[in-house]
Amino acid sequence: MACLTQQFVGLKCPPISTTRLVNPSNYHHQIKQKPRIVVQAAAVVANAQTRERLKLKEMFEDAYERCRTTPMEGVAFTVDDFHSALEKYDFDSEVGTKVKGTVFSVDANGALVDITAKSSAYLPLREASLHTIRHVEEAGIFPGLREEFVVVGENEADDSLVLSLRSIQYDLAWERCRQLQAEDVVIKGKVVGANKGGVVALVEGLRGFVPFSQISTKSTAEELLEKELPLKFVEVDEEQSRLVLSNRKAMADSQAQLGIGSVVLGTVQSLKPYGAFIDIGGINGLLHVSQISHDRVSDIATVLQPGDTLKVMILSHDRERGRVSLSTKKLEPTPGDMIRNPKLVFEKAEEMAQTFRQRIAQAEAMARADMLRFQPESGLTLNSDGILGPLTSELPEDGLDLSEIPPADDL
């Protein structure tokens, strides 16, 4: 105990502050003041809420007034913009409506097209082209392609639209045929079918009919299948789906352009012991074995083969019988070039043909001059320069004295 007493004696405690002691009278005064402070705080909060309500009321009234008087003030998106947006993203989906779309996926059966509708549209393979194709890519349809399509139906399973390019191409093909008919031009058509009255040819993707009476060759329908014929339009009627063509009209135009001495490009169709038949723009001409080269050709197959392309010169043209005689012999720069160097013959073809035509013209002029010498009443003669003109002193106006010419029997 003595030890504990000594320890406590050494301890010092700080004095007790009088401010911490609660005066009984002050305590009761504070209790009385507390309710008054609460009431005052509640009043302050209520006033603040009232002011906030008034402020919101003023804002709403101001907004209402602006909406009533100037609704578009300060608004960048106008009513016209709104209508434009509706037109862009909402369209008429009736059959026959044309829509713009972007291809984003292709498969073996067709292509998916984004037309900014609630669901994607579908382009079936059969509607992708006017021609028969096995995949849409054959018609140039790839992801990213933006094109105009026409609505041809609706898929009831998912409400997606069915699109077509074929319908648009069909209308354009008829328009093109009408234009070609108006221009009266010769076109090429591939024979794809036949019936008892004629053959069917594809023109601009449409199936046209060529009656046998309008085919210039004597070939059978089977022989014409898969071949291309020069054709002209006879009738173009989209409403009745009638497309009638003529090979005879086309051939008549082509034959009119075949001048003696002209050089044309041809393709060897067949070989015979006596020569080769050459297709020159839908007309079959004969290149006789004697007109292939100045050198003797014992076997035509050593010089030409079916399918070969070559330049030939028109020697003669019998329009009534539909026969055209051809020559490469006249195009040889030197005899035998057609056998040894046919490339040189084709390179010099126009030059050699020009020389040939000049010789023909000179021969014809001389023939006319000889005839005119015996017909002085024509008033024309051939001068020393080879030009046909009025009579000169070279030929007496009273004609030639034929009395000194011996009879034919004495020659």
Mean pLDDT of all residues in 342-353:
89
DSSP structure string for 209-251: EEEGGG--S---HHHHTT-EEEEEEEEEETTTTEEEEEHHHHH
Residue with the bigger pLDDT between 247 and 391: it is: 247
The whole-angstrom separation of Cα 139 and Cα 145 is: 11
133 vs 157, more confident: 133
Output the pLDDT for position 12: 46
Query: What is the structure's pLDDT at 248?
Result: 82
* CA distances from residue 76 to 151, 157, 248, 383 in whole angstroms, order as listed: 35, 41, 69, 92
Cβ pair 296, 338 in contact under 8 A: no
Q: What's the rounded mean pLDDT across residues 285-292?
A: 92
Least confident of 218-227, 232-241, 361-370: 361-370
106: left (phi over 0), alpha (psi -120 to 50) or beta: beta
Kindly state the average pLDDT of the residues 234-245.
Answer: 93
Cα–Cα distance measured from residue 260 to residue 358, given in angstroms and rounded to the nearest whole number = 12
Q: Tell me the CA end-to-end span of the chain in Å, nearest whole number.
A: 191
Residues 175-220 have pLDDT tens digits of 999 999 999 888 999 999 998 889 999 999 999 999 998 887 777 8
**Which residue would you say has higher pLDDT here, 54 or 304?**
304
| Res 5: pLDDT | 43
Given this model, what pLDDT does residue 91 score?
A: 54
- State the pLDDT at residue 18: 46
304 falls in which pLDDT band (50, 70, 90)? very high
Tell me the three state secondary structure of residue 309: strand
Q: Cα dist. 117→93, 101, 107, 122, 148 in Å?
A: 10, 10, 21, 12, 15
Mean pLDDT for the chain?
78
Which tens digits make up the pLDDT trace of 8-57? 444 444 454 444 444 545 544 444 555 555 556 566 656 777 878 888 88
* Inter-CA distances, 363 with 221, 352, 357, 367, Å: 45, 17, 10, 6
Predicted pLDDT at 43 = 63
Contact 289, 338 (CB under 8 A): no
Q: How confident is the model at residue 94 (pLDDT cuts 50, 70, 90)?
A: confident
